């Protein structure tokens, strides 16, 4: 799930400026780009990996695109939901549905899963150590609530 909507909007502005169809045609490129921006913080690492992605997906984009992407800030605001699920949430939000209702419509909230609504997102692919910490610190946490 995208936790920092400002950062994601900044990325979307760059993608739209270069006519990159991140929802359909270039979705795989977009998903990998998000991971590069999340994992690599310095410009030189981002530059290298974004150029590799562009070659991999045969993206004929102006070189300014890479520079704009490398300069994006706060791109670590992505959490535990898959990028596909995050895209589904964003699609509903673009139709005017508020975030909490979009999550409910897609089956995340408690009324659909018969579980409490958490005030946090558990780690992606939590380890046994993570699960034990959650169980000891959150009395309402149950491992079966991890649905990914």
Contact 134, 140 (CB under 8 A): no
- Looking at per-residue pLDDT, the higher value among 30 and 145 belongs to 30
pLDDT in tens, 37-67: 887 888 888 889 999 998 999 888 877 888 9
Q: What is the pLDDT of residue 81?
A: 56
How much is the pTM?
0.51
pLDDT tens digits, 102-132: 887 876 654 445 555 666 666 667 788 888 8
Residue 88: CB partners within 8 Å, gap ≥ 6?
106
Residue 11 has pLDDT above 90, yes or no: no
**What pLDDT sits at residue 95?**
94
Provide mean pLDDT across the span 65-94.
76
Q: Which residue has the higher pLDDT, 17 or 11?
A: 17
On whether the CB atoms of residues 94 and 87 are closer than 8 A, the answer is no
Proportion of the chain above pLDDT 90, given as a percent: 7
Q: What are the sequence ranges of the domains in the chain?
A: 5-70, 81-114, 120-148
Q: What is the pLDDT of residue 26?
A: 81
What pLDDT was estimated at residue 56?
93
């Amino acid at each position: 799930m995208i936790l920092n909507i400002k950062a994601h909007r900044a990325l979307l502005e760059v993608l739209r400026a270069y006519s990159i169809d991140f929802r359909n045609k270039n979705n795989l490129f977009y998903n990998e780009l998000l991971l590069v921006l999340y994992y690599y913080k310095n410009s030189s690492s981002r530059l290298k990996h974004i150029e590799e992605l562009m070659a991999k997906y045969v993206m004929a984009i102006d070189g300014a695109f890479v520079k704009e992407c490398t300069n994006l800030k706060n791109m670590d605001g992505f959490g535990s939901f898959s990028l596909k699920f995050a895209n589904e949430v964003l699609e509903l939000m673009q139709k005017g549905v508020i975030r909490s209702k979009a999550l409910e419509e897609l089956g995340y909230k408690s009324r659909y899963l018969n579980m409490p609504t958490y005030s946090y997102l558990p780690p992606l692919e939590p380890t046994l150590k993570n699960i034990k910490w959650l169980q000891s610190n959150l009395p309402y946490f149950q491992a079966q609530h991890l649905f990914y």
